[in-house]
Structure 1
Amino acid sequence: MKTVETIAELQTEIKAARAAGKRIGFVPTMGNLHEGHMILVDAAAEECDYVVASIFINPLQFNDIDDLGRYPRTLSADQEHLKDRDCDLLFYPSVDEMYPDGQEAQTTVSVPVVSEGLCGDSRPGHFDGVATVVSKLFHMVQPDAAFFGEKDFQQLAVIRKMVRDLNLPFDVFGVPTCREENGLAMSSRNNYLSDDEKQTAGQIYSVLTEIKDKILAGERNFAELCVLGKQTLLEHDFQPDYVEVREANSLAPATEDDTDLVILVAAILGKARLIDNMRVNLAHSKVGDI
């Protein structure tokens, strides 16, 4: 695996791979890589001939400068992880390389509707920062396919809409969430948790599962289910941000007529803000019952 730090080097390597007839798969990350990221690399390697990963801690998507400052930076370990998998090229740019005219002078990309509510309310400007940096990376790499984790469900929806609206000519693949034994979704932010908190954090998965089971059993008072979910989190020392049931494709609040649902949770435990989600496909469950 080769590591490059400039856009010119990146595009030289990709040009050579494309000239060799290789299909380019792209996995953008902010580093501090764990097995969930490696599953994305594996998915890209299975679908494509040449895998590019990026590590860039994007300041535009942090609305808390302290959060940006303490975000883990583990380049050497990340490189070793990527070398152990089928990653061909790592792009590791500086802030100046990505934003040569400064962040305030940077043209930004805003994706309406799906950026609103949920984490969009809790982290103002976050998804504009995500859409802007991912758009820049897409134009630099020009992949044939890009791979993102489904744990960040709203982020994935934002990126899919951006790609669709801007007519970008490649596929976006969502890869299922990778979990710890207790159900906790793998995340770089789990490093902020103590060992005891990591065990407690599995309650998020339990809440998601309980709400899903009740919906599959016929419950349709989504607001009440979410209130009960928040109460459970409070009882386990979380500070819930939201527990919501949404239509999975539009992210609009779910109605009784919707069949493709997603339950989304965000909650603070200790120093970590944790997010997770779970799909509920009622159309599929009805077919299965027959």
Structure 2
Amino acid sequence: MRVHKKRLDILTDVAAFNKQKKTIGFVPTMGALHKGHLALIERALEENQKVIVSIFVNPTQFNTSEDLVNYPRTLDEDIKLLSVLSEEIIVFAPTPKEVYGDEMLSIKYDFKGLEHEMEGKFRPGHFDGVGTVLKHFFNIITPNKAYFGEKDFQQLQIVKKLVEIEKMSVQIIGCPIYREESGLALSSRNKRLNQRQLDISPLIYSTLKQVKKEFGTKSVSYLNKWVSDQFKNNSELQLEYFEIAKVSDLKSIKRKQKDTKYRAFIAVFAGEIRLIDNIALN
């Protein structure tokens, strides 16, 4: 398995694949790989002749220096995990300078309002950082397909809009959320949870499932209050937001409409560790 840390090295591989007319699948990650990442990579391996996995903790998408510093970095373990999956995977693990050059700045994007909803309200500038780093990676790797998990559903919609804005030919593939047996959505941040937090965190998904069950008969205002009440007196989990939103534009709703697709979105703090999840409602 080849591991590249230099832009020139990955460009050399990509040029060879393009010359051979090999299809390229790309899975961008920030490392600390788990089964959710592996599911994305396995699908990429099934659908493409070559697969590139990036491992890069992107500084421009973090809102606090503390979160950036504490984000788990496990490159050696990640490489071992990938080598077991397939020796054919190419890993790109650059430094920020290799990605951004001398100026590590985010492009200011207009994602047609998608960036101002939910995560955008609580993490200003986050999606500019996501869009900027993916633009760099897409330009370097020129993939045919790129794979993203639906746990970050808002990000998935943002990436689709990015490709439209930048007029890129890459096809964006959304993949189902991978969960623990308890229902907790897999995330690299889960590694930072203590046992008490792990024991209580399945409440997040069970709450979403109950919302889905009652969405057809209960009002949006009722569901919003009910979710808030589930976390009101919880000493381990603090609700940051819960919103029911239209899939098309991610705007939160007060009333349901016919022939419209909705999802429920939630963000919760377990101590200082921020967990997000979502579920399709109809």
Report the TM-score, using the length of structure 2 for normalisation.
Answer: 0.94
Q: How does 1:10-21 map to 2 (within 5 A)?
A: 10-21=10-21
Q: Secondary structure at the match of 2:249?
A: coil
Residue 242 (structure 1) aligns with: 241
- Between the aligned partners of 2:268 and 2:10, the Cα distance in structure 1 is 37
Structure 1 residues 195-235: Cα deviation after superposition (integer angstroms, max 9, x where no partner): 1211200000011001000013x22x213202211220233
Q: In 2 relative to 1, CA 3–110 (structure 1 residues): closer, same or farther, beyond 3 Å?
A: farther
3-state SS of 1:173 partner:
strand
Distance 1:279 1:146 in 2: 22
Asked whether the 8 Å contact 2:247–2:263 carries over to 1, the reply is: yes
Cα distance, 1:20 vs structure 2: 2.3
Instruction: Specify whether residues 170 and 26 from structure 1 end up closer, same or farther in structure 2 by C-alpha distance, changes over 3 A only.
Output: same
Aligned-partner residue type, residue 275 of structure 2? L
Counterpart secondary structure, 2:278: strand
- Matched residues in 1 for 2:33 and 2:242: separation? 27
Q: Equivalent residue for 2:39?
A: 39
Amino acid at match of 2:249: S
Unpaired stretches in structure 1, ≥5 consecutive residues = 282-290
Contact 2:117 2:251 in 1 (8 A): no
Compute the displacement of 1:161 (Å).
Answer: 1.0
Map 1:191-230 → 2, pairs under 5 A? 191-216=191-216, 218-219=217-218, 221-230=219-228
Q: Give the gaps of 5 or more residues in structure 2.
A: none
Amino acid at match of 2:39: I
Are residues 1:160 and 2:152 paired?
Answer: no
Distance 1:109 1:256 in 2: 30
Give the drift of 1:11. Answer: 1.1
In structure 1, the residue corresponding to 2:245 is in which secondary structure?
Answer: strand
Shift of 1:236: 3.0
Equivalence for 1:3: 3
Residue 52 of structure 1, CA deviation: 0.4
Structure 2: distance between partners of 1:168 and 1:198: 40
Instruction: Give the SS at the match of 2:128.
Output: helix
**TM-score if structure 1 supplies the norm length?**
0.92
Percent of residue pairs bearing the same amino acid type: 36
SS in structure 2 at match of 1:151:
helix
Q: Mapping of 1:69-80 within 5 angstroms?
A: 69-80=69-80
Distance 1:234 1:18 in 2: 55
Residues 1:92 and 2:93 aligned together: yes
Secondary structure of the corresponding residue to residue 27 of structure 1: strand
Alignment partner, residue 27 of structure 1: 27
Between the two proteins, the alignment pairs up a number of residues equal to 278
Native 8 Å contact 1:26 1:143 kept in 2? yes
More off after superposition, 78-87 vs 49-58: 78-87
Where does 1:81-230 land on structure 2 (aligned, <5 Å)? 81-86=81-86, 88-104=89-105, 107-216=107-216, 218-219=217-218, 221-230=219-228
The answer to whether the 8 A contact 1:31-1:74 is kept is yes
Once residues 37 and 234 of structure 1 are traced to their aligned partners in structure 2, the CA distance between those partners, rounded to angstroms, is: 33
Contact preservation (8 Å) 1:230, 1:240: yes
For structure 1, which segment, 138-147 or 245-254, has the greater mean C-alpha deviation from structure 2 after superposition?
A: 245-254
Q: Could you report, residue by residue, the CA deviation over 1:104-125 in whole angstroms, capped at 9, with x for unpaired residues?
A: 4x54444231111211111111
Structure 1: distance between partners of 2:16 and 2:48:
15
Contact 2:107-2:129 at 8 Å conserved across structures:
no
Instruction: Answer whether contact 2:246 2:263 (CA < 8 A) is retained.
Output: yes
User: Tell me, what secondary structure is at the counterpart of 2:91?
Assistant: strand
Q: For 1:28, what is the secondary structure of its paired residue?
A: strand
- Which amino acid counterpart does residue 242 of structure 1 have in structure 2? Y
AA at the equivalent of 1:240: L
Distance across 2 between alignment mates of 1:178 and 1:107: 31
